[in-house]
Amino acid sequence: MGQTLYEELGGEAKLREIIDLFIDRVFDDRMIGFFFRHADRERIKEMEFQLTAQFLGADIEYRGRPLDEVHAKHPIMGGQFARRLQILRETLEVFQVAEPIRGAWIAHTESLRPLITRDRGSDCDPILAREKAQDPSGSPSIAHVLKKET
């Protein structure tokens, strides 16, 4: 039987090294880091490790909450999702992750987009984003809804 992507990558030590740098870059990023200002960096690293290890074929269970539930309270726009994806690409390049693993990892991350944001692609609606940031329920104002209908 062939190796899993997890084994091809180098196993736990290598994946943890990649995740550590990736999450540090996400937390410190000017465009999206603010989402994490009250988050526990080490917990996020562990959840990201579990989620990624499981996807890559490791016998490791993701023990976090469902992704859609975790991200529902955050007004994440498509462009912000794309920024995180770019940071992931850059981090994988730093570690010279083989193309088959890198491609699968990026594609898997893209497949999670509907659980993280309702925006398609990198579309951003700055008015809706501002309103969501001001209204934690995430419900658009009636003015915004009416504007979209006209």
What is the pLDDT of the chain when averaged over all its residues?
82
pLDDT tens digits for 78-88? Answer: 788 889 999 99
Cα–Cα distance measured from residue 57 to residue 34, given in angstroms and rounded to the nearest whole number: 32
pLDDT tens digits for 101-138? Answer: 999 999 999 988 887 787 665 545 555 555 655 655 54
Low-confidence winner among 14-18, 22-26, 109-113, 117-121 (lowest mean pLDDT):
117-121
Question: Which domains occur in the chain, in start order?
Answer: 5-125 (1.10.490.10)
Crossing angle of the two packed helices 142-149 and 126-134, in degrees rounded to 10: 160
Cα–Cα distance measured from residue 67 to residue 78, given in angstroms and rounded to the nearest whole number: 16
Mean pLDDT of the region 94-98: 98
Q: DSSP readout, 119-134?
A: --TT---HHHHHHHHH
CB 136 within 8 A of CB 73: yes
Burial class (CB in 10 A: 0-12, 13-18, 19+), 62: middle
Helix (H/G/I), strand (E/B), else coil: 9 = helix
Tell me what pLDDT residue 145 has.
Answer: 42
Tell whether pTM > 0.85: no
Half-sphere exposure of 36 (CA within 13 A, CB side): 19
Higher pLDDT, 13 or 144: 13
pLDDT tens digits for 138-148? Answer: 444 444 444 44
